Amino acid sequence: MRKRITQTAEQGDKQQSPRAGCWIGKSRLCAMETITQTPEIIDKTLSPELLRRMNAYWRAANYLSVGQIYLYDNPLLKEPLKLEHVKPLVVGHWGTTPGQNFIYVHLNRVIKKYDLDMIYIAGPGHGGPAIVANVYLEGTWSEVYPNVGQDETGLKKLFKQFSFPGGISSHVAPTTPGSIHEGGELGYSLSHAFGAVFDNPGLIVACVIGDGEAETGPLATSWQSNKLLNPISDGAVLPILHLNGYKISNPTVLARIEPEELEQLLRGNGWSPYFVEGDDPELMHELMAATLDKAIQEIRDIQENARNLSDNTRRRWPMIVLKSPKGWTGPKTVDGLPVEGTFRAHQVPLLVDPRHPEHVAQLESWMKSYHAEELFDEDGRLMPELQELAPKGERRMGSNPHANGGILLRDLKMPDFHCHAVTVPSPGAVDAQDTLILGRFLRDVAKLNQDQRNFRVFGPDETVSNLLDAVFEVTDRQWDAREVKNDEFLAPSGQVLDSMLSEHQCEGWLEGYLLTGRHGLFNSYEAFIRIVDSMFSQHAKWLKVTLELPWRRKIASLNYLLASHVWQQDHNGFTHQDPGFLDHVINKKADIVRCYLPPDANCLLSVFDHCLRSRHYVNVVVAGKHALPQWLTMDQAVVHCTEGIGIWEWASNDKGSEPDLVMACCGDTPTLEILAAVSILREHVPELKIRVINVVDLMKLQSASEHPHGLSELDYDALFTRDKHIVFGFHGYPWLVHRLTYRRFNRNLHVRGYKEEGTITTAFDMRVQNDLDRFHLVEDVVDRLPDLGAKGAYLKQMVKDKLIEHKLYIDQHGEDLPEIRNWKWGMHEDTSGRLAVPATIADV
């Protein structure tokens, strides 16, 4: 039963408090179930003196927030405010800021009272002034940035830097100590929070969720993450849904539905909601304090019961709904229009510029309502009695090491990947399923790091489909909801989080896990990783900025394994065929992104061992799960992957002379088809000198001046020549290779890749439809080399005939021609009758 507490008439008739700088009006206070305090009982939570100081601290945070948005000079208003004291361009978001300041001061209290290990995630990250203000008040900002001191000069620098050239952004950014969540793009705060507490049993994440953010798809789904939280081995998330009623210019849905409907929604998602509602600061402080005490005690009760009794039964975790006016304590009206409590408070509620000089006085009156002279001494330092309200040392949320995860990062214990090598007696002699082999390696990684509890596998219910299920030999899927007969691999604790079909949640969990100092990977179907395009972008931006901040420690790389890729979706069809994530990724800074397309299992093992050991990158690895020929021994694979690109001498016949043609490949399926095309050419035009090049590290194609992995012009020309035709089989969209090589001298580059043709068909027919098959590749070579003459003409006719034969055969039999299905890289005689290809790789 939902219970409400309503103010008395006397309480509701209070007027504006000139000393508090807050607007006092009628307040509606309510809570769930056991929060049934009367004002007399609530008074016992905070002593009058503590309430007075907490309200003053809140006023200080609000004052600093307004100063950041508006002021260029005169930070303590020691002289009358003038237009020249105001920034020429005023930028920022006020609406969410006072509510977040209110939350922060109350979290400080419970951190001190209960000695909590807590970090703060600001879902409405555009409320950057609030977090910067509080990190400054607690002293962390000045420790990280000593040039911004705890004095009047420091205040001036703090104000000026906000949304100012050469300063900091208006959002909660990587530059903000204590932050692991940028907040510029809304929707991911709660999934980041859960990622942070997985395997962090002592951590609580206070996650503030804006009511606008709550309307996004990712956030709406992330409420369900509580079904995957283990109260024994994981920490806790305390969501605080901040209902201030408006977005930019529209109302928010959750603020306008009936209270009972909101309560049912949150309870239906598995939470126990407590409501703090009103606009009277004194009563709001009292109720928020009582509610936070209740929430923290419930979290402790759940954890102690689970840990002391080994009881994994899923409980309803507490959460708080804070309903306060948008732009609380700001201007009530501007130019005759209501502002506080309306959408007009969202960004800058008061325009102060040469066109609105009359607003200077209103800004001054607004700022003076906080009474800075009571909050800061003559030198601009926060009063000692207020300093005492903040936690100390690493208990300060701005200084918590979990929010600078590289401090806590420990190396993974890594198995020897050579132990999983595929035995390759000769190139293409055996077939293997690349991700199946990788799964056994990841199983060993998981097992070796179970005691450290710092490695997890994430995915949207695709771990088994992507053939990584060997990991379930040593661990389980973490799952805290009901289990029924025939479920597989479910347990209250496990190193695999793939039981929610949401790419957004997997990405958010993994990012939160990495940002707090752990390791992991995200396995996904290639086509559907596009769902998190923008999330990847935000994380890459975070890595880019933090790389430039000496106080931010490097974190483990974000590793993507894209399996079930475009060339292996013949059974699912067109909707599952999209290799465009590679195109998206390479737009980011070269010192952050890496893209690998290993041609076989041994190369995949070598690449993934490297990726799991790396720091502060985004590694994208594309690998197949279907059985394909294996080309390199493990020793050769290590050399090849270390170099990232190279001539496959065993497939070439140009050694000691200039090639007539370069055949290049990148990706497992293009490698197969390029080598099959080469075998046809070698058989029918044995005098043709062909150089075969395989690319593992896609960024090798880019110039060294643009990417640290890129080849120099000299090295590129040595491989690809300066004038010979290059027929390049590529895994993705062809123009990506053209884009990467646009500065190269040799313009005779002809790329064949995916060109948006596909359906449910055979695997080989997928390649035929996109002109990546061996027959189209041979035809392309003949067209590029007119000197082949009659041989070329007959060869071209032969492959055209083969394409017709192929089409007729699959239409009748529903599978590829036997010569396609059974093809092996073999031994072809040259014109002298000698073997042009060694019997084994070892002969090279």
pLDDT tens for 758-771 read 888 999 999 999 99
Q: Which of 184-193, 541-550, 821-830 has the least mean pLDDT?
A: 821-830
Let me know the angle formed at the C-alpha of 193 by 187 and 199, rounded to the nearest 5 degrees.
145
Six-digit token string for 535: 């999330």
Six-digit token string for 763: 């695997």
**Average pLDDT in the 420-437 region?**
97
pLDDT tens track for 528-541? 999 999 999 999 99
* Confidence bin at 511 (pLDDT 50/70/90): very high
Q: What is the DSSP string of 255-324?
A: HHS-HHHHHHHHHHTTEEEEEEE-S-HHHHHHHHHHHHHHHHHHHHHHHHHHHHHT-----PEEEEEEE-
pLDDT of residue 609: 98
The phi, psi pair for 194, rounded to 5°, reads -65, -40
Neighbours of 474 (CB within 10 A): 16
Q: How far, CA to CA in Å, does 660 sit from each of 184, 680, 685, 688, 691?
A: 53, 16, 12, 6, 8
CB 294 within 8 A of CB 274: yes
pLDDT tens track for 75-102? 999 999 999 999 999 999 999 999 999 9
Six-digit token string for 567: 């060339």
pLDDT of residue 394: 98
* Confidence bin at 734 (pLDDT 50/70/90): very high
CB 217 within 8 A of CB 187: yes
| Lateral strand order in the sheet of 203-210 | 117-122, 203-210, 236-243, 317-323, 271-277
* Confidence bin at 14 (pLDDT 50/70/90): very low
Distance of CA 347 to the CA centre of its chain: 26
Asked if pLDDT for residue 237 goes beyond 50, the answer is yes
CB 22 within 8 A of CB 60: no
Amino acid at 565: H
Question: What is d(CA 690, CA 830) in angstroms, rounded to the nearest whole number?
Answer: 13
Six-digit token string for 463: 């771990």
Of 664, 643, 607, the closest CA to residue 442 belongs to 607
CB 459 within 8 A of CB 466: yes
What is the torsional sign of CA 626, 614, 610, 452? negative
Specify whether the backbone of 493 is left (phi greater than 0), alpha (psi in -120 to 50) or beta: beta
Q: Which of 29-43, 226-240, 455-469 has the least mean pLDDT?
A: 29-43
pLDDT tens track for 441-474? 999 999 999 999 999 999 999 999 999 999 999 9
Helices first, then strands: H and E counts in the chain:
28, 24
CB 612 within 8 A of CB 647: no
Strand ranges for 127-266 from DSSP E: 203-210, 236-243
Asked if pLDDT for residue 11 goes beyond 60, the answer is no
Six-digit token string for 632: 């390199």
Question: What is d(CA 466, CA 524) in angstroms, rounded to the nearest whole number?
Answer: 8
8-state DSSP, 712:
P
Question: What is d(CA 395, CA 387) in angstroms, rounded to the nearest whole number?
Answer: 14
Specify whether the backbone of 283 is left (phi greater than 0), alpha (psi in -120 to 50) or beta: alpha
Question: What is d(CA 387, CA 495) in angstroms, rounded to the nearest whole number?
Answer: 42
DSSP, collapsed to helix, strand or coil, labels residue 396 as coil
- Residues forming a β-bridge with 168: 162
End-to-end CA distance of the chain: 79
Six-digit token string for 538: 């935000």
Strand 455-458, strand 519-525: pairing: parallel
Question: What is d(CA 70, CA 148) in angstroms, rounded to the nearest whole number?
Answer: 18
Longest dimension (CA), the chain: 108
**Average pLDDT in the 512-524 region?**
98
pLDDT tens track for 689-726? 999 999 999 999 999 999 999 999 999 999 999 999 99
CB 612 within 8 A of CB 521: yes
Is residue 372 within a helix (H) or strand (E), and if so which, with residue range?
helix 372-375
Question: What is d(CA 577, CA 569) in angstroms, rounded to the nearest whole number?
Answer: 6
The length of the chain, given as a count of residues: 844
If you search the block for the tokens 């992330």, which residue do you land on? 222
- Residues forming a β-bridge with 491: 478
- Residues forming a β-bridge with 431: 629
pLDDT of residue 573: 79
pLDDT of residue 297: 98
8-state DSSP, 46:
S
pLDDT of residue 770: 96
- Residues forming a β-bridge with 2: 32
Neighbours of 170 (CB within 10 A): 22
DSSP, collapsed to helix, strand or coil, labels residue 751 as strand
Strand 333-334, strand 645-647: pairing: unpaired
pLDDT of residue 712: 97
Question: What is d(CA 128, CA 167) in angstroms, rounded to the nearest whole number?
Answer: 13
SS (H, E, C) 373-395: HHHECCCCCECHHHHCCCCCHHH
**Average pLDDT in the 319-330 region?**
97
pLDDT of residue 239: 98
pLDDT of residue 5: 36
817 exposed, middle or buried (CB, 10 Å; 0-12, 13-18, 19+)?
middle
Asked if pLDDT for residue 25 goes beyond 60, the answer is no
Question: What is d(CA 439, CA 328) in angstroms, rounded to the nearest whole number?
Answer: 53
The phi, psi pair for 257, rounded to 5°, reads -75, 165
433 exposed, middle or buried (CB, 10 Å; 0-12, 13-18, 19+)?
middle
> Over the chain, what is the mean pLDDT?
92
CB 135 within 8 A of CB 176: yes
Asked if pLDDT for residue 367 goes beyond 70, the answer is yes
pLDDT of residue 183: 77
